[in-house]
Amino acid sequence: MSEKNRQKPAGPLDGLKVVDLTRMLPGPFGTMLLADLGADVIVVEQPSGPALGPRRKNFYVDRNKRSMALNLKDERARKILYRLVADADVFVEGFRPGVTERLEIDYPTLKRTNPGLIYCSISGYGQDGPDRLRVGHDLNYAATAGLLHLNGRKDTGPVIFATQVSDIAGGGMLSAFSIMAALYHRQQTGNGQHIDVSMTDGALALNPLAFLEYSNAGKAPVRQGYRNLGATPCYNIYRTKDDEYITIGALEPKFWATLCRLLDREDLIDRKEDTSGETVETLQSIFATRTRAEWDRLLDDKEVCYAPVLDMEEVCSNRQYVYRKMIHEEIDVDGTRSVQAGVVPRFSMTPGTLRRLPSRPGQHSREILSEQGLDQSTIDNLEKEGVVKSNTDA
């Protein structure tokens, strides 16, 4: 990411200031979405000790952000944070409930500094309720929300998701969405507010089909492997001759009929919704007769809702992603390689940008402190006394 690129318009959120105290994955993913669209995201990190999450130099959720390191147990560091928050639009934290009160950086405290502040708390189980202090991670939240119960086969038990659904969708994306909604409300009323993002709540909201079946059947849906919620002959995953996999999503009758004709099995046209397992087994036998490449040649340009199951190497060379410039490979000055997904979504007039590689903890401490009006001598003393830390090494 060249200096020239950094001078381009940052995106639709250019001018928005976000102070980010989150760690792990949910909060950083959410603030990355804001940073990608132009927000000035200042990550406040601890000056020493082990990182509180996957803080890797090439971990792209840390891109487009500035980092400063503050020891918030020191009153002087908190005063610096208060100055940062005084003109900020958004404050995001991911501590367990009660920690911000002890650090004196809770919403009532910061609201006195900035009444219009949007304060977003991301936690596993929410800010209230009997489980508010319960420890957990993505897997636990998915289990509590019923997502894991339906994922996998009846005979093998629940299967862990390949990506962090509760963290990313139930936490990160939901926090970014809710922050934008709160900013719109502030634009209309002038009022800031506190947002309580519970990843367990967010995961629960990702389960509409299970709720639908539970409502209609009056009993809990059961885990059935390929016959899980939504899985039918026309909507399933099939193994090919070379032990690769393809997907069929022919929900509409016209797409299903086209597929059946291409397979020379018009007798299956009326069995699109068969839940007995017989039609699925028939298709399993058919798709096992050819390699994935052979099915690509037959089905790729046909209107049957077909797609092969790609691994990450194939994803990064996928023609659609390449055309839309959705895969970026960046090399830092020390040679660190970072392969990243591009900015989403696209804006016609104010597109988001990739302006900064993932920063090192404390990389921008001096820059940010100078912007707050502190002179170099004061910054030197604060660093010497462990209140702040800077990291300008490549």
Output the domain CATH number for residue 60: 3.40.50.10540
Q: What is the extent of the structural domain holding 258?
A: 226-239+245-308
Q: Check whether residue 75 and residue 106 sit in a common domain.
A: yes
Q: What is the pLDDT of residue 54?
A: 43
Q: Check whether residue 195 and residue 335 sit in a common domain.
A: yes
Assign residue 250 the CATH number of its domain: 3.30.1540.10
Tell me whether residue 321 is in a domain.
no
Q: Check whether residue 191 and residue 278 sit in a common domain.
A: no
Tell me whether residue 211 is in a domain.
no
Task: Find tokens 């970026």 and name the residue.
Answer: 328
Tell me whether residue 218 is in a domain.
no
* Residue where one domain finishes, among candidates 273, 308, 343: 308
Q: 74: Cβ–Cβ under 8 A, 6 or more apart, which residues?
A: 386, 387
Q: Check whether residue 333 and residue 372 sit in a common domain.
A: yes
Q: Which two tokens stand for residue 270?
A: 């009326």
SS3 label, residue 178: helix
Catalytic residue, chosen from 20, 36, 106, 167, is 167
Tell me whether residue 360 is in a domain.
yes
Query: pLDDT digit of tens for each residue in the chain (394 aa)?
Result: 333 444 566 899 999 999 999 998 999 999 999 999 999 999 999 887 544 344 456 688 999 999 999 999 999 999 999 999 999 999 999 999 999 999 999 999 999 999 999 999 999 999 999 999 999 999 999 999 999 998 887 778 898 999 999 999 999 999 999 999 999 999 999 999 999 999 999 999 999 988 998 999 898 888 876 555 557 899 999 999 999 999 999 999 999 999 999 999 999 999 998 988 899 999 999 999 999 999 999 999 999 999 999 999 999 999 999 999 999 998 877 777 889 999 999 999 999 999 998 888 899 999 999 999 999 999 999 999 999 999 866 4
Catalytic residue, chosen from 14, 131, 137, 274, is 137
Q: Which two tokens stand for residue 278?
A: 């017989």
Q: What is the pLDDT of residues 187-214, one digit of tens each?
A: 999 999 999 999 999 999 999 988 998 9
Tell me whether residue 372 is in a domain.
yes
Q: Check whether residue 173 and residue 233 sit in a common domain.
A: no
Q: What is the pLDDT of residue 49?
A: 53
Q: What is the pLDDT of residue 50?
A: 47
Q: What is the pLDDT of residues 321-341, one digit of tens each?
A: 999 999 999 887 777 788 999
Q: Check whether residue 31 and residue 163 sit in a common domain.
A: yes
Mark whether 167 is an active-site residue. Answer: yes
Domain count, the chain: 2
Please give the DSSP secondary-structure letter assigned to residue 91: E
Burial of residue 208 (CB within 10 Å: 0-12, 13-18, 19+) is: exposed
Q: Which two tokens stand for residue 161?
A: 């998701």
- CA pseudo-torsion sign 288, 294, 300, 301: negative
Mark whether 393 is an active-site residue. Answer: no
Q: Check whether residue 235 and residue 272 sit in a common domain.
A: yes
* Residue where one domain finishes, among candidates 263, 281, 308: 308
Q: Check whether residue 152 and residue 258 sit in a common domain.
A: no
Q: Check whether residue 184 and residue 141 sit in a common domain.
A: yes
Q: What is the pLDDT of residue 52?
A: 37
Residues 197 and 178: their CA atoms lie apart, in Å, by 8
Tell me whether residue 317 is in a domain.
no
Tell me whether residue 132 is in a domain.
yes
Tell me whether residue 201 is in a domain.
yes
Cβ 267 vs Cβ 259: under 8 Å? no
* Residue where one domain finishes, among candidates 257, 281, 308: 308
Q: What is the pLDDT of residue 156?
A: 80
Q: Check whether residue 169 and residue 296 sit in a common domain.
A: no
User: Could you tell me what percent of the chain has a pLDDT over 70?
Assistant: 93
Q: E strands of 25-151, at which residues? A: 40-45, 65-70, 90-93, 118-123
Task: Find tokens 């402190």 and name the residue.
Answer: 369
Residues 200 and 141: their CA atoms lie apart, in Å, by 5
Distance of CA 58 to the CA centre of its chain: 16
Q: Check whether residue 38 and residue 164 sit in a common domain.
A: yes
Q: Check whether residue 283 and residue 331 sit in a common domain.
A: no
Residues 160 and 143: their CA atoms lie apart, in Å, by 10
Helices (H) and strands (E) in the chain, counts: 17, 14
Give the predicted TM-score (pTM) of the model.
0.91
